Amino acid sequence: MMETTTKSKRVERKEEIRKKILDVAKDLFLKHGYESVSIRKIADKVGISPTTIYLYYQDKSDVIYALHQEGFKALAIQFAALKNVEDPFERLKAMGRNYIDFSLRNPDFYQLMFMIKDPIEFVERNCASEWEEGEEAFGAMLATVADCKEHGYFGKLDLHSIALHIWFVVHGICSLKLQGHLDHVVKSHIQEGKDAYALDDAFETLITIMKGIK
């Protein structure tokens, strides 16, 4: 017997390789985008055979889902930094800004997290509708909106309706920006010089409207 630790060395090594595969996938993903993540390229970079990956992940979508989770962890860190903002409406504003900034700084992650079908389908198939990471993020927002309501914001509107609404706006901004649709429309229909400010304008408009709800 050699299992003095909770994990035997074999299991340990297995987890190491599993992590290495994910790290290489993440590296490829961030450097060359979603489309460039292929089983064969990952295997090459790790130094193993393509089929070996299937001993550690059941699927390609399983690898993609693991990346998806990494993204949610990174977003959670962004949100966690806001716990000490006292004024609830300022905290809500900061959350929105952080969300948008995250999408701009990690466009590939954002697309994977909110704009691509594969990972969420993987959740539906394999995770029995738990999925802590996503619920946590939305929960944090719900709490802040509730806090705002207690301070007199948002009138008689329902808590969940407000929270969802803000998410819709912010996701709308991010997703249309990332796909180039926003720039396209702004370039065609709105005065010159506003190009770069479209995003800030959009956020300002949201804040103005939300603050004005009686």
Partner DNA sequence: CAAATATAATTAACAGTGTTAATATTTTAA
Partner DNA sequence: TTAAAATATTAACACTGTTAATTATATTTG
112 binds its own copies (CB under 8 A): no
Task: Write out 48-102 in H/E/C secondary structure.
Answer: CCHHHHHHCCCCHHHHHHHHHHHHHHHHHHHHHCCCCCCCHHHHHHHHHHHHHHH
Contact 39, 21 (CB under 8 A): no
Selected range binding its own copies among 23-31, 56-64, 97-105, 154-162, rule: CB under 8 A: 154-162
CB of 108 to DNA, least distance (A): 16
Contact partner at residue 2 from DNA, its own copies, none, CB < 5 to 8 Å by partner kind: DNA
- DSSP secondary structure letter of residue 156: T
- Total interface residues for its own copies by CB under 8 A: 54
85 binds its own copies (CB under 8 A): no
142 binds its own copies (CB under 8 A): yes
172 binds its own copies (CB under 8 A): yes
Tell me how long the chain is.
214
CA distance 141 to 92: 7
Cα 181 to its chain centre, rounded Å, is: 20
Binding site for its own copies (CB under 8 A): 114-117, 120-121, 123-124, 129, 131, 134-135, 138-139, 142, 155, 157-158, 160-162, 164-165, 167-173, 175-176, 179-182, 184-190, 198, 201-202, 204-206, 208-209, 212-214
